[in-house]
Amino acid sequence: MQKRRKSLHIGRYGEILSVFIKYGFGDIVSSLNIGRYLSLTRGFLLRKSAAEAHAKLTHWQRVRMALEELGPTFIKFGQFMSNRPDVLPVDLIYELEKLQGSVRPFPKREAETIIQGELRRPIPELFSFFPDAPIAAASVAQVYKATLTNGRTVAVKVQRPGIAQVIEQDIDILFDAVKLLIRRYEIVRSIRLEQLVEEFETVIRKELDFSLEMAHLERFRRNFKDDPLIYVPEVFPDLTTQRILVTEFVEGIKVSDAAALAKAHFDPANIAKQGTVLVLRQIFEHGFFHADPHPGNILICNDGRICFLDFGSVGILPPMLRMQLGVVLYGVAHRDPQRIVRAIEKMSNHHFEHPQKLEYDLMEFIEDYAELPLKDMNVPQILQRFASIIVSHEIQIIPGFYLLLKSIITMQAVGTRLDPHFNLFEHLEPFVKRLLRTFPRLQSAPASLYFMLMEFAALIGDLPFETRDMLRMVKAGELTVRFQHRGLEPMLDRFDVLVNKIVFALVLAALIVGSSLVVNSGIPPKIQGIPLIGVVGFITAAVIGFGLLFSMLRNKKMSHESKNN
């Protein structure tokens, strides 16, 4: 199956190799011994044109341009990797953030065919007006401004024909390429590139399912119900499938259009403040946030409310990760590297045997910011430096952290564009305080008590799951207990004596109770009208009782003498 699939992709392999050679990466192609997919003449001509490109462009510019030419899958992969400062150099990330696909719209008849096939109804029954051209065309889908038969104006997002098959094919090729690179380059193994491609595959599959985007929109509507600052478009579930998404069309001004905002008499500084509050609420209150709040995805409605568009990419922060992120910011502001190390352990599920080096690096990092007022702290810069420290110590933090990092960096950029005096920490500080419930001085007792209680609560919360795992191991016979003791023999001897006494006491109690029952039952044979078995039981009980009493008195005397000696 694997060989047949590769043979079906051989044409695409040739296209990809041609593009990389064109942009000056022929040496990599040669080192991987995969030039056989190209003819000698074609390879020679491409290398000649590559020499010209090599002279005019930087290395990372050529990477970005090659990905753009390779189409949707590689553009999306580049955008995905731009969220990972723990893996890629800063200069490459800067180029990948510029990635944009220049794609032609596909014909209206193809869009109508997809819509009718998905919804199983003819276009006239669905729309009173459906335009000839889309208002936006992207690598995965294009959007039309249409009118429903009930008069509602809607945005109709239609997936590009055959895009799912193209992406499946390119993902196969990406996995093949990664395997070749792993065998050839040590650095590829160290950055866990195969795992990153697996993560990307999960992300891109979700983006191809528009019913998930509908679910994201509906969740945002619930989260911000009755909030006067935000407007979340209504979605039409009956008209939405995996390949079609129909939402309310929202009129507004893009947040990047400063001239239009000024003409409409909107205050840019107030928009920056409100937008930041909304994103921080998504992160710290809901743990469910828009992962790409760039200017093109934010509209200002006519009534001043902010509307986020394109919910295909969202980030999820579990409550514990939100809490630990707050602890990191607390530790930076209050010079507490040990607390940051503990937060990192929880965020990464990594235990440090020797945390001193990490604590030193964190303390050095903290000192650069400790004397600054909170309002002057650059949050994206702090988080980027924090991420670089994480990388240098080879610590793996869940991908949600890097989506958060990208979201905050984008938010800072948008805020600064709207208001030159914008400072993110001024808006962030109240959320961190609210998250941690109390924010007293570092040396105050309540702060120490609070963090101790927080860690104790986390321990109690984990206890049922740890117990379940332990019982599962016991049941499967996988639990092994190793015990080593020194100098415990005297204690074990005394424990053995104590257990023997308890056993005799239980036997004594049983004899007394049993004999009493026999005596009252009147079971023959009898002596003086008393059942013989009951009399024997009482005598035996008396012997055992006197024996226990004598043993206890003797042990007490010996213990007293040993203390005096």
Supply the residues annotated as catalytic: 292
Q: Which of 119, 106, 109 is nearest to 166 (CA)?
A: 106
List alpha helices for 59-103, DSSP H. 59-70, 72-81, 90-96
The answer to whether 142 and 105 have CB atoms below 8 angstroms apart is yes
Q: Give the strand pairing for 314-316 and 253-254.
A: unpaired
156 vs 131: CA distance, rounded Å: 11
The answer to whether 314 and 297 have CB atoms below 8 angstroms apart is no
399 vs 395: CA distance, rounded Å: 12
Longest Cα–Cα distance in the chain: 125
Measured CA angle at 161 (ends 155, 162), to 5 deg? 140
Pull the structure tokens for residue 171. 């993902």
37 vs 35: CA distance, rounded Å: 5
Query: What angle, rounded to 10 degrees, do the helices at 379-392 and 319-333 form?
Result: 100
Pull the structure tokens for residue 262. 């000024």
Cβ atoms within 10 Å of 317's Cβ, excluding its own: 22
Q: Residue 205, class by beta-carbon neighbours within 10 Å (0-12 exposed, 13-18 middle, 19+ buried)?
A: middle
What torsion, rounded to 10 degrees, do the Cα atoms 436, 439, 441, 442 define? Answer: 10
Amino acid found at 421:
H
441 to 148, 314, 328, 359: CA distances (angstroms): 59, 35, 16, 21
Pull the structure tokens for residue 232. 């979340």
230 vs 163: CA distance, rounded Å: 33
* Locus of tokens 């639990």: 479
